[in-house]
Amino acid sequence: MKVLLADANLAPHRDRFTAALPSGVEVLWRAGRDPLTLVEDLRDVEVYVGSRFTKAMADAAEKLRLIHVVGAGVDKVDLDAVAPGVRVANTFHHERSIAEHVLAAAVVLRRDFLAQDRALRRGVWATSVYDDSIGQLPTVGDARVGFVGFGHIGQRAWESFRMLGSRGAAVTGSGRVDAAAHGLAWAGDVSRLDELLAESDVVVLSAPLTPATEGLIGRRELRAIGPDGVLINVGRGPLVDERALYEALRDGVLRAAAVDVWYRYPTPDGQSTPSELPFHELANVLMTPHSSGVTSDTFRGRSDDVAANIGRLARGEPLLNVVHG
């Protein structure tokens, strides 16, 4: 069996990945290469490992049996072009890393560590100990945390908050969350979104982006979170109206936000601003480059998943995490 591997995120785990494969598997390492340059390599490949797959690639891949994305999203795979019988699989393992990011962002923003850092660089000790105009800040353990989306990411993040003593609630598209089983105060469907936002000190977005959820958080919803509230978006940028978010942060309608998912993504050289609006000029936003799940922990797990599925394919066993085909 021949495997073409084009995902650069597995390069640091090359020895681990190779050791997990069954004997007789040949791997063409093309990690980091533009997928459009791999057409000729695909002609006798049975497994393609990468995030992007085009019609031209599908037309060339005469022996292909499996496309394995090294992540959750398959939005860069042209599913309409995938030949009948070719399966598409994904993998996760990012929930622990993203949960760590969510908790860290909540602590940093709720306790004003960004502002304190900038002030101290100017020689200003911005704490109530030295400035009577500054109030004593609450811990995250005292926070009410609202989850918009409560899949594996939301659940793992809630475990971290819960250990600190936070109170939680969640809304999802289906509303089928067992609040008692998860230790939540309550759970419901999106018809209770306003209630969730109004009562939450920290709002965590991890819902999927669909036509129904695009722009789910707009001006009205940001006002409901309020000037003491913190918003953390690890779902997709367009879950939140771009201009409404910028203006809410700029005008103090919202206390702070941590944004890991954006409205504009870079070219292959890794350069571009993440929005047409100057979020980078705002002092109350923690900006990260869609990196909340990018850790060695995440990609070790993904490497193991992909290798295990290739082994299943070689042995004729059912594959895991098949999303198409």
Strand segments, DSSP code E, in the chain are 2-5, 26-29, 47-49, 66-68, 87-89, 144-148, 167-172, 186-189, 202-205, 230-233, 256-259, 285-287, 322-324
pLDDT at 73 (0 to 100): 87
Same domain, 269 and 319: no
Angle between helices 95-110 and 113-121 (to 10 degrees): 60
What is the 8-class DSSP label of residue 77? B
Residue type, 85: G
pLDDT at 196 (0 to 100): 98
Is 268's pLDDT higher than 80? no
Same domain, 201 and 84: no
Cβ atoms of 5 and 33 closer than 8 Å: no
pLDDT at 267 (0 to 100): 80
- We report the CATH number of the domain holding residue 251 as 3.40.50.720
Residue type, 100: E
What is the 8-class DSSP label of residue 81? T
How many domains, the chain?
Answer: 2
Same domain, 318 and 231: no
How confident is the model over 122-163, as pLDDT tens digits? 999 999 999 999 999 999 999 999 999 999 999 999 999 999
Same domain, 178 and 246: yes
pLDDT grade for 269, boundaries at 50, 70 and 90: confident
How confident is the model over 28-83, as pLDDT tens digits? 999 888 888 898 899 999 999 999 999 999 999 999 999 999 999 898 999 999 99
Which ranges in 12-112 belong to alpha helices (H)? 14-20, 55-60, 95-110
Same domain, 85 and 140: no
Full domain range(s) for residue 172: 95-287
Same domain, 234 and 275: yes
Q: Distance between alpha carbon 201 and the CA centroid of its chain, in Å?
A: 21
Q: What's the rounded mean pLDDT across residues 258-278? A: 91
Q: Burial, 52: exposed, middle or buried (Cβ in 10 Å; 0-12, 13-18, 19+)?
A: middle
**Which residues sit opposite 66 in a β-bridge?**
47, 87
The number of beta carbons lying within 10 Å of the beta carbon of residue 224 is 18
pLDDT at 33 (0 to 100): 84
Same domain, 272 and 317: no
pLDDT at 34 (0 to 100): 82
How confident is the model over 1-37, as pLDDT tens digits? 999 999 999 999 999 999 999 999 999 999 888 888 8
Contacts of 209 (CB under 8 A, 6+ apart): 235, 236, 238, 239
Same domain, 68 and 214: no
Q: How many CA atoms lie within 13 A of 271 on its CB side?
A: 1
pLDDT at 115 (0 to 100): 94
Cβ atoms of 211 and 240 closer than 8 Å: no
Same domain, 99 and 87: no
Same domain, 109 and 238: yes
How confident is the model over 190-209, as pLDDT tens digits? 999 999 999 999 999 999 99
Of 42, 36, 40, give the one whose Cα is nearest residue 5: 42
Same domain, 148 and 258: yes
How many helices and strands in the chain, by DSSP H and E?
10, 13
The number of beta carbons lying within 10 Å of the beta carbon of residue 188 is 17
The number of beta carbons lying within 10 Å of the beta carbon of residue 231 is 29
pLDDT grade for 271, boundaries at 50, 70 and 90: confident
Tokens representing 191? 């018809």
User: pTM of whole model > 0.75?
Assistant: yes
How confident is the model over 169-178, as pLDDT tens digits? 999 999 999 9
Residue type, 19: A
Question: How many angstroms separate the first and last alpha carbons of the chain?
Answer: 20
CA 162, CA 223: separation in Å to the nearest integer?
Answer: 26
Same domain, 75 and 129: no
Q: What value, to the nearest 5°, has the Cα angle with vertex 247 and ends 169 and 114? A: 70
